[in-house]
Structure 1
Amino acid sequence: MPHRRRAVSPIISTILLVAVVVILSATISVFVLDLGSTIQADAPYIEVSGEFVAAVDDGEQAVAITLVAGDTAQTDQLYVSGSKSLDIGGRPSSSSTPANDAYASRREKFTEASGDNPPQVGIGETWEAGETIYVDPEGVADGVTISIYWTSMSVEGVNPGTPAGDTTYKLTTVEMGRSS
C-alpha cells in the first residue's frame, strides 16, 4: 500500500501566517511605543556673555551673565556651578536680594529664594535673550570659571538644590579673565 503524504491545508497555513504577523506586530509596536515614552527633551542651546560688575561686599566683583542668543530655558531646570563657591542673585546695586558671596555654595539653582519670596535672580519662569543673572564668587572673581547646567526635570530641594531627572547637560561655561 502506497504511503500518501498529506500537507497542511492552505487555509490553516494562512491562519497561522496571519497569527504570526499579528503577534510580531504587537510585540514591535509595544517596544517602539515604550521607547518613545522614554525620550528626553532636548537641552536648550544658549549663548551667553559675561562681564565683571561691582559686588555688594568689600569692593569685590561679581559676574553678570547675559543670555545673548539661543533658546528660552525654564529657570527651574537650570543651575550654576563654579571653579569656586558662588552665590546667585539679583543685580548687586539695585536688588533687594543681590548675589552675595557670604551665601556661596558649590551649586546654585536659578530659582533660589528665601522663604516665600520670589526667586532672587528676578527673571521669571524662563531665561530669555537679553536677561541677565548675577553670580558672586567667593573671594576674588578674577579667573573664576562658571558653568551653566540644564537638567531634564526641576532642580529639587532648597538651595543649592539637587539636579533631578535622567539627564543633565552643561550648556555653557564662562571663563572670566583678569579684570583691568
Structure 2
Amino acid sequence: MSLLVRIVSVLLALVLFLGGLLAAAEIGLAQLRQPALLVPHRQWAAWLRVQVWESPTTRAVLAAMVLLGLLLVLVALRRGRPRTLALPPREGQTPAGVETHASRRSVERILAASTNRVSGVEGAAVAITRRRARVRASTPTRSEPELPTEVTETVTRELGELGLDRLRPAVSVTGKGRR
C-alpha cells in the first residue's frame, strides 16, 4: 500500500469516526429534547425539505460527492512500488518451476553500494519503482561531467548482473555549489 493511500485512508477514517461520534451525540441530544451540540438539525431538516433534484445547489453537491468518490477510488487503485522483484532463473542453478525474488530494499541497497564505489561519489540514494531505478548520487565537490555517465554504467551493469535490466536507470548527480 502506497504512502498516499495510507494517509488518505487514515484521514478518511478519522473524519468518518469523528462524524459518527458527532451524529451519535446529536441523536442522543435530540432524543433527550436538548439543544443541538453543533448541527442545527431542525433548520437543516427544514432546508432539506424544500430542496428539489433540479436545484443547482443539489446538483453541485451531488457532483462534488461523485468526483470525490471517483478520486478516492483512483487513489486506492493506484499501484504502489513493488515489495519484491522477480529475478530470472539462472541456468544450472535454479531448478525448473522455482521462482526467485529479491526484496526491493535489498536491490536498492545493492545499487547504492555499487554507486558509492564509483570514484568521486560520496553518497547515494536509490528508489526502485516498477519500471525505473532512480539513483541520486552526491559528491563532496562540484561533480565532473563524466560522473553521471560512470554512475549510469555502474547501475546498468549491476542491474544486468541481477537480471533486472528491464529497469531503466535514472541517474542524477549533485555536488557542492549545484542543486
Structure richer in strand, relative to its length: 1
- Higher relative CO (CA 8 A, sep ≥ 6), structure 1 or 2? 1
Q: Normalised by the shorter chain, which TM-score bucket?
A: under 0.3
TM-score (norm 2): 0.26
